[in-house]
């Protein structure tokens, strides 16, 4: 929480914050006192639900991410992991990552494949 410090207009008196006082306070909002000049960035929480041929696994914890580009990168990474796991054991034909935030769905990335010929 930001506080505005003002100097009294005369000894023993007080005054309302001036426009300059307020401007200085707002300039410093979000600044990290331990690292001058660095802004503190509030990150949103995103939930990465995993869908495959067996159903939907709901992400109940979520991850804090700084922006949509980071969300897209994480969703692509999760999808690649799902595909790698399915090739190693499970016989799935589709995989998807459905991303949502507190307002609802924001992104879906997925892949479907079909085996045309069996070698067996």
- Distance (Å, whole) CA 23 – CA 19: 6
Query: What CA–CA distance (Å, rounded) separates 57 from 49?
Result: 6
Kindly report, residue by residue over 1-56, the tens digit of the pLDDT. Answer: 343 333 444 445 555 555 555 455 445 544 445 555 666 667 899 999 999 888 99
Site of tokens 């506080």? 3
Q: Measuring CA to CA, which residue among 115, 114, 97 is closest to residue 106? A: 97
Q: Pairing state of beta strands 94-101 and 44-52?
A: antiparallel
pTM given for the model: 0.61
């Amino acid at each position: 929480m930001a506080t505005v410090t003002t100097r009294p207009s005369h000894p023993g008196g007080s005054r309302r914050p001036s426009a300059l006082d307020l401007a200085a306070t707002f300039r410093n909002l979000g600044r990290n006192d331990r690292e001058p000049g660095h802004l503190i960035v509030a990150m949103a929480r995103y939930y990465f639900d995993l869908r495959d041929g067996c159903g939907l696994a709901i992400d109940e914890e979520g991850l804090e991410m700084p922006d949509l580009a980071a969300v897209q990168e994480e969703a692509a990474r999760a999808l690649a992991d799902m595909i790698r796991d399915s090739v190693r054991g499970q016989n799935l034909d589709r995989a998807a990552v459905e991303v949502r935030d507190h307002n609802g769905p924001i992104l879906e990335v997925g892949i479907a494949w079909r085996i045309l010929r069996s070698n067996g």
